[in-house]
Structure 1
Amino acid sequence: MVSYLNVLLYGLGGVGVAGLALLVAFQERLVYVPVLPGLTKSYPITPARLRLLYEDVWLRSSDGVRLHSWFIKLSPHCRDIAHRLEMVRIMMQKLDCNVFMLSYRGYGASDGYPSQHGITKDAQAALDHLVQRADIDTSQILVFGRSLGGAVGAVLAKNNPDKVAALILENTFTSILDMAGVLLPFLKWFIGGTGSKCPKILNFLVRSRWGTIDIIGQVKQPILFISGLRDEMVPPAHMKILYAKAAAHNKQCYFVEFPTGMHMDTWLVGGDVYWNTIRQFIERHVSGRKHEESASRTNGTVWDFLCCSVSLCS
Structure 2
Amino acid sequence: MNGLSFSELCCLFCCPPCPSRIAAKLAFLPPDPTYSLVHDEANSRYSFHLTDRAEWQYSQRELDLIEVFQTRTSKGNRISCMYAKCSPNARYTLLFSHGNAVDLGQMSSFYIGLGTRINCNIFSYDYSGYGTSTGKPSEKNLYADIDAAWQSLRSRYGICPQNIILYGQSIGTVPTVDLAARYEVAAVVLHSPLMSGMRVAFPETKRTWFFDAFPSIDKVQKITSPVLVIHGTEDEVIDFSHGLAIFERCPRTVEPLWVEGAGHNDVELFGPYLERLKQFVTVDLAVN
TM range (shorter): 0.7 to 0.9
TM-score by length of 2: 0.73
The separation in 1 between residues aligned to 2:8 and 2:118, in whole angstroms, is 50
Counterpart residue type for residue 32 of structure 1: F
2:39 corresponding residue in structure 1: none
Instruction: Answer whether contact 1:105 1:119 (CA < 8 A) is retained.
Output: yes
Counterpart residue type for residue 260 of structure 1: G
The separation in 1 between residues aligned to 2:56 and 2:170, in whole angstroms, is 27
Could you say what secondary structure the match of 2:181 adopts?
helix
Q: Which has the larger radius of gyration?
A: 1
RMSD across aligned positions (CA): 2.8
1:41 corresponding residue in structure 2: 33
TM-score by length of 1: 0.67
Q: Please say if 1:159 is aligned against 2:158.
A: no
1:58 corresponding residue in structure 2: 70
Counterpart residue type for residue 264 of structure 2: H
Q: Could you tell me which of 236, 242, 248 is aligned with 1:244?
A: 248
2:28 corresponding residue in structure 1: 32
Q: Which runs of 5+ in 2 are unaligned?
A: 13-17, 36-50, 89-107
1:70 corresponding residue in structure 2: 82
Instruction: Answer whether contact 2:167 2:189 (CA < 8 A) is retained.
Output: yes
1:181 corresponding residue in structure 2: 202
Change (3 A) 1:220 1:259: same
Per-residue Cα deviation, 1:55-91 (whole angstroms, up to 9, x for no partner) = 1211111222111122121268xxxxxxxx9532320
Instruction: Answer whether contact 2:87 2:115 (CA < 8 A) is retained.
Output: no
Give the % identical residues.
24
Counterpart residue type for residue 259 of structure 2: F
Change (3 A) 1:21 1:132: same
1:144 corresponding residue in structure 2: 167
Q: What's the CA shift for 1:17? A: 4.2
Counterpart residue type for residue 256 of structure 2: F
Change (3 A) 1:158 1:26: closer
- Aligned length in residues: 239
Q: What's the CA shift for 1:287? A: 5.3
Quick one: higher RCO (CA 8 Å, sep 6+), 1 or 2? 1
Q: Which runs of 5+ in 1 are unaligned?
A: 1-14, 77-84, 183-187, 196-202, 290-314
Change (3 A) 1:59 1:18: closer
Change (3 A) 1:26 1:230: closer
Change (3 A) 1:276 1:137: farther
- Deviation larger for 217-226 or 96-105: 96-105
Change (3 A) 1:261 1:27: closer
1:70-219 pair list within 5 angstroms = 70-74=82-86, 87-134=110-157, 139-161=162-184, 164-181=185-202, 192-194=205-207, 206=212, 209-219=213-223
Per-residue Cα deviation, 1:174-226 (whole angstroms, up to 9, x for no partner) = 111101125xxxxx5xxx3517xxxxxxx5665xx111110111101000111
The separation in 1 between residues aligned to 2:206 and 2:70, in whole angstroms, is 36
Instruction: Answer whether contact 1:67 1:102 (CA < 8 A) is retained.
Output: yes
The separation in 2 between residues aligned to 1:283 and 1:18, in whole angstroms, is 48
Change (3 A) 1:278 1:128: same
Instruction: Answer whether contact 1:158 1:220 (CA < 8 A) is retained.
Output: yes
